[in-house]
Amino acid sequence: MIDVLLVDDHAVVREGYRRLLELQDGLRVVAEAGSAEAALLLWKQHQPSVTVVDLSLPGIGGIELIQRLRSRQPQVRCLVFSMYRDDVWVAQALKAGALGYVTKSSAPAVLVTALREVQRGRRFLSPDLAGAAIDGDGDAAHELTPREFEVLRQLLAGHPVARIAETLHLSAKTVHNLHYQIKAKLGTASDFELARIAWRRGWTD
């Protein structure tokens, strides 16, 4: 039996996932979480076979959640199920430790197949990501670490440095340093340029 933890901040969406997955032989949804913080507690309680993670979460984002789960248990199986299709999101999720990435525009059967493959420890990308340049190919955004990408995500959401520091258990000075590193890697001189790049690439909700 493959025990699944669903992590998505929309209850209606989670209900749809649950109904889909529980119609499949050998799949069972053991818990649902609407935030990364709740997911960390539920993961410890249930030790699921696979954790299905949406990347757009309130507070701690999905990429940060995957990193934290991996730090607890290096063999954890995480499958991203997200609306984001930009190759940078895919690359960051894989760098953080996800084994699979499926877009929400995929057919239901793709999600089911991905779950089974990830549970076996195999990498899986949905067919619509077949051409994703997840190795970077000269794209400066791929030079960002998952932690830098999470800080960027929170900055773009308008969160103040103090809140980001508290959420990620960092000092304000570290967040400022990461902010500087992000701009340096992306070749931007201002936050306005940073926001423009993010909007053009579809990194914002």
Domain boundaries, the chain: 2-129, 140-201
Q: Please tell me the predicted confidence (pLDDT) of residue 131.
A: 64
pLDDT tier, 136 (very low <50, low <70, confident <90, very high otherwise): low
Domain 140-201 in this protein, CATH class: mainly alpha
**Three-class secondary structure assignment of the chain:** CEEEEEECCCHHHHHHHHHHHHCCCCEEEEEEECCHHHHHHHHHHHCCCEEEECCCCCCCCHHHHHHHHHHHCCCCCEEEEECCCCHHHHHHHHHHCCCEEEECCCCHHHHHHHHHHHHCCCCEECHHHCCCCCCCCCCHHHHCCHHHHHHHHHHHCCCCHHHHHHHHCCCHHHHHHHHHHHHHHHCCCCHHHHHHHHHHHCCCC
Check whether 187 has a pLDDT greater than 60. yes
Q: Please tell me the predicted confidence (pLDDT) of residue 201.
A: 79
Question: Mean pLDDT, to the nearest integer, of 23-42?
Answer: 95
Q: Please tell me the predicted confidence (pLDDT) of residue 137.
A: 61
Q: Please tell me the predicted confidence (pLDDT) of residue 28.
A: 94
**Which amino acid, 142?**
H
Q: Please tell me the predicted confidence (pLDDT) of residue 41.
A: 96
pLDDT tier, 99 (very low <50, low <70, confident <90, very high otherwise): very high
State the average pLDDT for the chain.
90
Name residues whose C-beta falls within 8 Å of residue 69's C-beta, 6 or more positions apart in sequence.
Answer: 40, 43, 51, 76, 78, 97
Q: Which fold has domain 2-129?
A: Rossmann fold (3.40.50)
Interval 73-84: pLDDT, tens: 888 999 999 998
